[in-house]
Structure 1
Amino acid sequence: MPPHRDGQLSAGSPLVTRTCRVPDVSFRSFLAGQAAPRLYWTSPDGLEIAATGAVTRITATGGGRFDAVRNQATDLFDSVDTDDGPDATRPRLFGGFSFDTEHQPEPPWDGFPSAEFVLPHVQLTRTETETWLTVSASETATAEETLTEMQAEIETLPTMRPRGESPGIESTTPITSREEWCSQIRHATDRIRDGQLKKVVIATALEVELGESVVVPDILERLRTSYPECYRFLVQPTSSGGFFGAPPERLVSLRGGTVETEALAGSIGRGETPEEDDELATSLADSEKVREEHELVAETIRERLEPLASSVSVGERRLKRLSTIQHLQTPISAEIGDREHVLSVVEALHPTPAVGGLPLEDAMRTIRETEGFDRGWYASPVGWFDADGDGEFAVGLRSGVAANDRVTLFAGNGIVADSEPEAEWDEVQLKFLPILNELE
């Protein structure tokens, strides 16, 4: 499928969207035939969106980036001319934020500023029952013409596309050696025991050289089979590289004034037999260290939601099992009415103690001094929001940034006073496996 024209907005132009129903097709075939920017989002509740092109981009930097994005989006959504498509096809801005406001868009994060959201030119939306094509542009004629052209092209795509071969791994190189990692963990635990910190999350990265260029839509399709209970996303702002992953953790969902979030902290591997699996789960639930870490995360999320909410409800802790790892999970919900935007909630929660630490400023200082690399968009809010301020964001974990025949993967562990460096090293290696397994 040839690249399409972007119906880019000029200053003061209205946003025009047009929608039609199309036969169900392979979303990965659609994405593979398109040039950057490319976007993909699917959530465990079944919504799936593949999009390409940019009608407009919203970017921001610095400490006021959440408000800046929100204000620019409000101006954009104030003049929308849309047809009578279903609610699932409504205009949305897709993107995310860097983990740290000090982030600079340098390799491997070329093209990823501190905050960027894209309103796509062409979007495919799959609901539980139907597939829809939406085109957004600055002029009605452009939107309607492109809709007709893209409808004809989409009808030529296959309904299914074979899973395909993975690119294969030539070599892997840890950015942090085992010895360096253990030293970093000892440094962190010393600060915790001295009372400077309660918890800090230390991350590392793995550079992966591939046998051939990676086709990210193919990897996302493989992740669909392996991790159907997770989010899956791709944010590719330029041809330089794409950030993708299959995170298990929802940061926030806001619909009609109801916030849904969760504490996901504490992890262990999967057993080779059901009995071993259950033994590992029991040891996870019984670990005083893990319970302390998990309860710290859940309590902090509750405290951060309270100033925004009329009520906050914390559910029962439970086990969340994935293919290669299992976690402790506590669901949390809140009622905030219609006065708050999802970005206000994102700003209040990011970074949660599950990816940052406590106290937050001290944890961030420790992360900057200790890790020795820029997290970029790893462990950051990635998702979408609409004109009503509703939206959904995942935490950018179990993720990597890909360019040609190289992928850089990221993973981190929550460190508390009695964390053991060698055990933390073994645990963090498990968190690379979801993506590594699909690349091999």
Structure 2
Amino acid sequence: MFHLMVDKNFSSFIIARLVLDLGKKISWIALAWFVYQQTSSASAIGFVITSATIAPLLSSMVVGVILDQYNRRTLMVVENLCRGMLLLLIPLLHWNGLLTLSIILLIVFINGLLSAFTDIGSVTILPAFVSRKDLEKANALLAIAGQTGYLIGPAVGGFLTSFLGASVTLVVTVGFFLMASFLYFRIPEEVFHQDKSRKLHTDPWKEKIQNIITDLRESFSFLKRHKILIVIASVTLAFNVTYAPLEPVLPVFVGENLSGGSSTLGLIWSVFAVGALAGSFIWVRLKFSVYYSYSLGIVICLWGLAPLVVSHLTNEVVIYCIMFLGGMVYAPYNIVEPTLEQKLVPDEIRGRVLGVLGMIAGIGFPVGTFLGGLLGDWIGAANTVFFSGFFTVILGLVVFRNTSLRITPHELN
């Protein structure tokens, strides 16, 4: 699949995503540990993550329509410039004694609103760079880029936070957002739109708003006729709910159960990413062609076993091994699910439809982080990790038996 990287525009697009995910994970490790040090509360970490992750859901439907109608390159460039500047506010306010939890929540909320352009845009725009037959390989490369960022980012974030402090680490991550903006800018404008048959809108604002409303209605109408897309989004929603409690409670689990620091937290997520990277290579290499209900259900079940086991461990090395294996079995989900959606949705309405699907599926993550934070303070971090795994396994079994997903990749080609 790496022959696709010969195209300089496609390679710039993929590298930009890698850079963004690298910056994102470095900043999240620094921010999560900063909040933990200040509050010692899983719920406070949960509030921050919930604020950051619920925001893109509020903007996702509109963002999908905007990506379909307006200049994609300009949107991606400006978005990441603004996100970098917002991130810079956190250390600046902290050094001046003005930073509070409320301000952090506001900053990450606005940052999250903007992040939808990259999150939805990457999946929406990707088919503009490759042919239909190379779509799954291109999605695999996009997933690998993200997983590589997740591989390096948490470890780098953990070590930088240990040696430089969270505030300086956040300043460092601003450079990643600026670099991504530059990479998007150097791709010719027309490349972002070469999969589109419709012209970009240059209408007055009233007509633009009416176009957005019309396109949203068209999206919901399309989904009513293709209920399998609703099923896929619902599965991802539930998976997010059962997975997400790990995010706010893991810093507390590391601090209390492992007596570790930010570097331990970073290494756990980095080892997970190494496993995910290996899992992506294996999945694409083996070219599985089974029912989607089987592939998605097995992936969910196997990942659920990882937190089930980790919740009972205090040995860091064993936890690293379990998280590596967990990453391997988790990775295929981020290849199979978007490829299935992309093949089911026509090019000209992909942005708005995936925006709606993203909102449906994504609501599970802030719900999961919010509940995970509360449960972490109520029943303890280890118990929260255990129940996260337990309910994930149950979900996997339900998906495995789902008859509406009994289709194979060959049936969609």
Task: Please report the TM-score for the alignment, with normalisation by the length of structure 2.
Answer: 0.26
Higher helix residue share: 2
Q: Which has the higher contact order (CA 8 A, sep 6+)?
A: 2
- Give the greater-gyration-radius structure (CA): 1
Q: Normalization by structure 1: what TM-score?
A: 0.24
Q: Identify the structure with the greater strand proportion.
A: 1
